[in-house]
A = this chain, B = another copy of it.
Amino acid sequence: MHVVDHPVQCRYDVAMNATPPPSPRERALLAAAAREFATAGFERASLNAVIRACGMSKSSFYHRFDSKQALFDRVVDEAAAALARELAAPDPAELAGPDFWPRLEAFVAHAAAALAKPAWYADLGKLFYLPDVSAERSAAMRRLLAGVDRWVQAVLKAGRACGAVRDDLPASLQAELAFAVLQAMDRWSIRHMETMGAAARRRLAASQLDSLRRLLAPD
């Protein structure tokens, strides 16, 4: 398992925003906002609820942010940066070769483990599931989704190059399918996780990755 032996540059352009060191007050605000946005999406989220939750007044909020939208963008940027730091997605080129699938499976397992431990930025994941409305007007969200998409496309391309991924389907469709399958697995796992033992979970994880492989690999 020497996949990450030498330092891996994570190279999807999650905004490497030079954020000014956030004050505790601002940190509380961002946490409350992340929770609210994650559970309700952008439009349904109530700014009033956010500032109420962290005991901040309207004017104090608007002193730091221009709008609800600006807050959302900031939350997305912050969470995306934290997530990228945590996941350390491998360079797609490194996945190519006869070990394509084992390597990819290693990364997926690693990513799943990283996302399993609850952290505030894990809420970001939920925003992926309702991107239709929020993504339209959020530059940060568009940037993030585009970056993820580019990474997935690159991985698929590498997989095709080494014969590990079939090429009789449009790549963009394959990417969407893979995303949908991972997402469905994620949802299902979250719902059934408590009712399974450790062994069942391992078996499940293996079966899930196997399903993904069946979907994408040739023959």
Within 8 A of B (CB), among A173-219: 173, 176-177, 179-181, 183-185, 187-188, 192, 204, 207, 211, 214-215
Q: In the assembled complex, which residues on chain B have CB atoms less than 8 Å from the CB atom of A211? A: 169, 177, 215
Q: Is the interface of A mostly helix, strand, loop or mixed?
A: helix
Copies of this chain present in the complex amount to 2
Q: Chain B residue with minimal CB distance to A180? A: B184
Chain B residues with Cβ below 8 Å from A130 are: 130, 132
Q: Give the residues from 115 to 133 in chain A that come closer than 8 angstroms, CB to CB, to chain B.
A: 130, 132
Q: Can you pick out 8 interface pairs between chain A and chain B where the beta carbons lie within 8 Å of each other?
A: A130-B132, A173-B184, A173-B192, A176-B187, A176-B188, A177-B184, A181-B215, A211-B215
**How far is the CB of A8 from the nearest CB of chain B, in Å?**
29
Is A172's CB within 8 Å of the partner chain B? yes
Closest to A203 in B: B168
A148 to B159 CA separation, bound complex (whole angstroms): 36
Per the CB 8 Å criterion, the residue count for chain A at the interface is 25
Q: In the complex the two chains form, what is the Cα distance from A169 to B207 in whole Å?
A: 7
- Residues of A that sit less than 8 Å from B by CB: 43-44, 130, 132, 168-170, 172-173, 176-177, 179-181, 183-185, 187-188, 192, 204, 207, 211, 214-215
Q: Which 9 A-B pairs have the closest CB atoms?
A: A180-B184, A180-B180, A173-B188, A176-B184, A214-B214, A176-B188, A169-B207, A215-B215, A177-B184
Among candidates B132, B173, B181, B192, residue contacting A180 with C-beta atoms closer than 8 Å: B181
* CA–CA, A180 and B170, complex, Å: 18
